[in-house]
């Protein structure tokens, strides 16, 4: 489904701010995989997503979707393959447009835009149906401006908008991190429900280890632009948070050793 071959990305190359954000990452994502990614701040997780989505282009390596090379395809064209939800609940919706207008924009992710009305009566019925699955009563507020919704409501809408057109790949970048615990739990539950129902191929970045353990069939741990730990299948199902913390501290000590050596060298 999605393949990353030898992706390498450096920011500010040749300056004192030089930073290797992605260090030769290879990844094969199979149809209906649900991968969770964890890692410390600055590990390169968001950069990896940006490279998959076409917001950033790798210095070396290729991105393949359904065996087609899309490495140089611009972000807006690659959007046909993927749905995305961002950390900031404000980022996934247009605040001065109504709920139904936002859904209409999302509907057109996979269709060329025309001079027909964005919200027709048949589409309104579809939007209503889909909104009902969120269980937040948004189906009764179709004409309300999205800017008036709470963060949790906006994020639930963003999730729906990213998924109801059945994207080939769903990218979730810490999409519950900016919410209070109860809202975060709601979004996590909805994510699980939607991904299961639609059988979506999903990659989810999270800072919540419990979430990373509970969801998905594969887990990756990233540090300094590399994948340093990976588990799948049965191993993933048996994985607990203490196991992960253990892995985490192992890698941290490795890292300390590494930087000590670099300093001494």
Partner 1 sequence: MFTSIFSSVEVGLMFAIMALGVYLSFRILDFPDLTVDGSFVTGAAVGAILIVNSTNPFLATALAFGAGFIAGTITGVLHTFGKINALLSGILMMIALYSINLRIMDAPNLSLLQHDHIFTKLNEAWGNTGIDAAMASFFTSIGLSDFIPKTWVIIIVMIIFVLLIKVLLDYFLKTEVGLALRAVGDNHLMITSFSGNINFYKVFGLGLSNGLVALSGALIAQYNGFADVNGGIGMIVIGLASVIIGEAIFGTKNIVRVTLAVIVGAIIYRVIVALALRVEFLETGDLKLITAVIVILALVMPQVIAKQKEAKRKKQRRARLAG
Which of the listed partners (Mg ion, ligand ADP, partner 1, none) does 7 bind, with a CB threshold of 5 to 8 Å by partner kind?
none
Scanning 61-69, 94-102, 179-187, 235-243 for contacts with partner 1 by CB under 8 A, the matching segment is 94-102
Q: How far is CA 132 from CA 23, 99, 105, 156, in A?
A: 43, 13, 19, 12
> How many Å is the Cα radius of gyration of the chain?
20
Write the CB contacts of 204 (distance below 8 Å, at least 6 apart in sequence).
34, 35, 36, 37, 172, 175, 191, 211, 215, 216
Rank residues 94 and 256 by Cβ distance to partner 1 and give the closer one.
Answer: 94
**What single DSSP character describes residue 179?**
S
Containing 36, the helix (H) or strand (E) segment is strand 34-39
Residue in the block written with tokens 């050596």: 261
Q: Choose, by CB under 8 A, the member of 93, 191, 206, 211 that binds partner 1.
A: 93
Q: Choose, by CB under 8 A, the member of 104, 176, 191, 202 that binds partner 1.
A: 104
Tally Cβ neighbours within 10 Å of residue 43. 22
**Binding to partner 1 by residue 127, rule CB under 8 A?**
no
Rank residues 39 and 167 by Cβ distance to ligand ADP and give the closer one.
Answer: 39
Scanning 29-37, 85-93, 189-197, 225-233 for contacts with partner 1 by CB under 8 A, the matching segment is 85-93
**What single DSSP character describes residue 217?**
S
**Binding to ligand ADP by residue 43, rule CB under 6 A?**
yes
Residues contributing to the site for partner 1 (CB under 8 A): 53, 55, 74-77, 79-80, 83-84, 86, 90-97, 101, 104-106, 108-110, 113-119, 161-162
Residues contributing to the site for ligand ADP (CB under 6 A): 11-12, 19, 21, 39, 41-47
């Amino acid at each position: 489904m999605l393949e990353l071959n030898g992706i390498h990305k450096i920011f500010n190359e040749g300056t004192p701010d030089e930073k290797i954000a992605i260090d030769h990452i290879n990844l094969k994502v199979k149809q209906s995989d649900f991968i969770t990614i964890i890692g410390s701040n600055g590990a390169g997780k968001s950069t990896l997503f940006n490279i998959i989505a076409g917001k950033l282009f790798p210095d070396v390596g290729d991105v393949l979707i359904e065996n087609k090379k899309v490495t140089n395809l611009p972000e807006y064209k690659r959007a046909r393959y993927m749905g995305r939800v961002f950390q900031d609940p404000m980022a996934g919706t247009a605040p001065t447009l109504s709920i139904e207008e936002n859904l209409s924009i999302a509907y057109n992710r996979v269709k060329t835009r025309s001079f027909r009305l964005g919200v027709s009566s048949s589409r309104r019925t579809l939007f209503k149906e889909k909104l009902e699955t969120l269980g937040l009563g948004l189906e009764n507020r179709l004409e309300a401006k999205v800017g008036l919704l709470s963060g949790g409501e906006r994020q639930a809408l963003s999730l729906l908008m990213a998924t109801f057109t059945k994207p080939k790949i769903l990218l979730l970048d810490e999409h519950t991190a900016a919410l209070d615990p109860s809202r975060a739990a709601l979004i996590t539950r909805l994510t699980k429900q939607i991904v299961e129902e639609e059988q979506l191929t999903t990659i989810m970045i999270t800072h919540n280890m419990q979430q990373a353990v509970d969801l998905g069939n594969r887990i990756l741990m990233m540090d300094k632009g590399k994948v340093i730990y990976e588990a799948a299948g049965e191993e993933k199902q048996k994985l607990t948070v203490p196991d992960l913390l253990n892995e985490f501290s192992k890698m941290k000590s490795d890292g300390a050793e590494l930087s000590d050596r670099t300093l001494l060298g």
